[in-house]
Amino acid sequence: MRGEEPVVVEALKMRALPEGSCDRLFEFLRLYRDAVQMVVDKIWGINERLSKRKLHRLFYSNLMSMGFRAHHAKEIYIYAESLVKSAKSNGGRKPVLRRLSARVDRYDYRLDLDNMTLTLKLHDGCEARLRLIASRERVEKFRGWSNYELVVKYDGSGFWVSIYFKKSVKTLKPRTVMAIDLNFDNATLAIFTLNGKLIKLKRFKTPHKKLLTHRIWVERIQRRYSRSWRFIKGVKNAIDSHGERIRNITWDYAHELGDLVAKLALKHHSVIVLEDLENLKENNKKNKEFNKRLGLWFYHRIQFCIEYEARERNLEVIKIDPRGTSSKCPRCGKKLAENKHRILRCRKCDFIGDRDFIATLNLYKKYVSKYSRCGVPGVALNAPKPNENPSGMRGNKDEVMTSSYTNLYKS
Ligand SMILES: [Zn+2]
C-alpha cells in the first residue's frame, strides 16, 4: 500500500452472525448502497478526473448529514468514483447497484480475533456486533499481520465479512529516533540521530480552541438545565451534537497528525518514541491542565493513530514512562524551574530551553538509555537556543498542520 516497503495483502472471508437484531445492519447496508448510487449518479456526467480533495468537497458534508461517519463518507465517494471509472473505461453503462455490500475503514470497526467478534460502527452512532465463523487454523495465520479494511455483505441468506490483512516483507531498522511530546495545545516532534544530534524539530498546533469551545457550550447548557438536561430531548440533542463535533474534530486531527508523523518517520527511518500514558500520574502537568477539561482520551486517540500509521509503514513504536520528562534537566537531572513562558531553566547547571523541546530530549535520552547499545550521549550539542524558536519550528511553525487540517476538514 503506502510506503516503499514490499507488502503482502490477503483477505480472510468469514460467515458473520449478528448478535441480536440485524435491523440496523440492514438499514446501514441499504443506506450505504443508496449513498454510493447517489454519488455515482452525480459524477457520471462529469468528464474531468476527480481528485480525492474534490470528491471530499462535493460529497463529504452531504454524506455526513445522512448520518455517516467521516471514514464511511470517504469510502463511499472513493468506491463510487472507482465504479464510474471502470464502467467508463470499459465503455459500459452507468452502474446500478443492487447488492448490499459496504467497504469499511479500519477506524470504523473493532476486530477481536481471540474472541472472534467484530463490532461495526454504523450510521447515526449505532453499532452492530457480529460473531465470526472460521476455523482457528485459518485465523491463526493472520496473527502478527495488520488489517486495514473490510467488506461486509449480505448475499440473500446471510452476512459475510472479508477482512483485508497485510504484512510487510521486511521491517525497517531505525537510523534515527523521533520523540513526540503531546500537549494540550501542541504536539512537539524532534528527530535525533543515534548519537544525539538533533536533525529536525517541528511543532503542530492541536485544535484545542475548537474543542474547548464545544466543551464550554456543553457545560453552559448543562449548568442552565442542571436538573433536566438528560430528559429534555432538544437539550439532550444539543449536547450530543457538540459531543459529536468534539469526536469528529479529534479523530480528523489524530488521523492527519498520525499520517504526517509516520511519513516523516519513514523518511528518516525513525523509531518513534511516545509517552506511556498508563504511567501518567495525578500531579502530571497533562492532567492538571487538560484532563479535567477534555480527558486523556484525546492523547490516546492521537497515539492510536500514530501507532497505526507507523505500523502500516513497518516502523517501530516504543512507549516510555514520561515521569519527569517535562520537569527535569536533561543535562544534570535536577528539577527545572520556569524562567518565563514556556522556557525552563536549571538552577544547578544553567541549562535553559523550551519546555516542549526539553520533554522530547528527555524522552530521547530515556529511550537511548533503555534500548540503545551505543550508550547515553550528552545533551544534544545543537539544541536550539531558548530565546529563539527551535530551528525546525522557524518559518514553517505550525503551518503544515493548520493548513491541511483546515482545508480538509472545514465544517
Ligand atoms: Zn541541570
| pLDDT reported for residue 271 | 94
CA–CA gap between residue 342 and residue 355 (Å, rounded) = 5
The pLDDT of residue 235 is above 90: no
- Give the distance (Å) from ligand 1 centre to CA of residue 378: 12
Which of 93, 196, 106 has its CA nearest to residue 150?
A: 106
The pLDDT of residue 358 is above 90: yes
DSSP per-residue codes, 111-132:
EETTTTEEEEE-GGG-EEEEEE
- Give the distance (Å) from ligand 1 centre to CA of residue 283: 22
- Give the distance (Å) from ligand 1 centre to CA of residue 203: 24
**Which strand ranges, in their side-by-side order, compose the sheet holding 159-168?**
100-105, 146-154, 159-168, 7-18, 127-133, 117-121, 109-112
The pLDDT of residue 211 is above 60: yes
Confidence of residue 224 (pLDDT cuts 50, 70, 90): confident
| pLDDT reported for residue 121 | 96
- Give the distance (Å) from ligand 1 centre to CA of residue 379: 10
Annotate 320-357 with b (16+ C-beta within 10 A) or e (fewer). bebbebbbbbbbeeeebeeeeeeebbbeeeebbbbbbb
Please say whether the beta carbons of 189 and 261 come within 8 A: yes
- Give the distance (Å) from ligand 1 centre to CA of residue 369: 18
217: which residues sit within 8 A by CB, 6+ positions away?
242
pTM of the predicted model as reported, rounded to 2 decimal places: 0.57
% of the chain exceeding 90 in pLDDT: 49
Give per-residue pLDDT as tens, 321-334.
Answer: 888 898 899 999 99
Secondary structure in 3-state letters for 152-202? EEECCCCEEEEEEEEEECCCCCCCEEEEEEECCCEEEEEEEECCCCEEEEE
- Give the distance (Å) from ligand 1 centre to CA of residue 326: 13
Q: In the chain, what is the straight-line distance between the N-terminal and C-terminal CA atoms, in Å?
A: 29
The pLDDT of residue 114 is above 80: yes
Mean pLDDT of 219-229: 83
The pLDDT of residue 377 is above 70: no
- Give the distance (Å) from ligand 1 centre to CA of residue 352: 8
- Give the distance (Å) from ligand 1 centre to CA of residue 318: 26
DSSP per-residue codes, 299-338:
HHHHHHHHHHHHHHTT--EEEE--TTTTTB-TTT-PBEEE
Grid coordinates standing for 358?
Answer: 526539553
- Give the distance (Å) from ligand 1 centre to CA of residue 337: 10
409: which residues sit within 8 A by CB, 6+ positions away?
249, 252, 256
- Give the distance (Å) from ligand 1 centre to CA of residue 144: 43
State the amino acid at position 165 in one-letter form: F
- Give the distance (Å) from ligand 1 centre to CA of residue 198: 19
- Give the distance (Å) from ligand 1 centre to CA of residue 20: 61
198: which residues sit within 8 A by CB, 6+ positions away?
190, 191, 192, 380, 382, 383, 384, 391
C-alpha torsion angle, residues 243, 244, 246, 249 (rounded to 10): 180
Confidence of residue 380 (pLDDT cuts 50, 70, 90): very low
- Give the distance (Å) from ligand 1 centre to CA of residue 258: 33
Which of 119-128, 288-297, 338-347 holds the top average pLDDT?
Answer: 119-128
Confidence of residue 40 (pLDDT cuts 50, 70, 90): very high
- Give the distance (Å) from ligand 1 centre to CA of residue 324: 13
For the chain, how are helix, strand and coil distributed in percent, rounded to 5?
Answer: 45, 25, 35
- Give the distance (Å) from ligand 1 centre to CA of residue 202: 24
Pairing of strands 176-182, 270-275: parallel
Mean pLDDT of 386-391: 43
- Give the distance (Å) from ligand 1 centre to CA of residue 275: 22
- Give the distance (Å) from ligand 1 centre to CA of residue 329: 5
- Give the distance (Å) from ligand 1 centre to CA of residue 351: 5
DSSP 281: -
| pLDDT reported for residue 279 | 60
DSSP 12: E
Backbone angles phi, psi at 285, to 5 degrees: -55, -35
| pLDDT reported for residue 396 | 36
Question: Ligand 1 is a single-atom ion; what residues have CB below 5 A from it?
Answer: 329, 331-332, 334, 346, 348-349, 351
- Give the distance (Å) from ligand 1 centre to CA of residue 361: 13
Confidence of residue 372 (pLDDT cuts 50, 70, 90): low
Q: Which residue has the higher pLDDT, 168 or 173?
A: 173
Residue carrying the nine cell digits 455517516: 68
| pLDDT reported for residue 169 | 65
DSSP 287: I
Confidence of residue 387 (pLDDT cuts 50, 70, 90): very low
The pLDDT of residue 390 is above 60: no
In the predicted model, what is the mean pLDDT of the chain? Answer: 83
Q: Which residue has the higher pLDDT, 17 or 246?
A: 17
Q: Which residue has the higher pLDDT, 102 or 3?
A: 102
Chain centroid offset of residue 279 CA:
21
- Give the distance (Å) from ligand 1 centre to CA of residue 370: 21
Q: Which residue has the higher pLDDT, 55 or 371?
A: 55
- Give the distance (Å) from ligand 1 centre to CA of residue 349: 4
Grid coordinates standing for 193?
Answer: 540521530
Which of 355, 304, 306 has its CA nearest to residue 330?
A: 355
399: which residues sit within 8 A by CB, 6+ positions away?
none
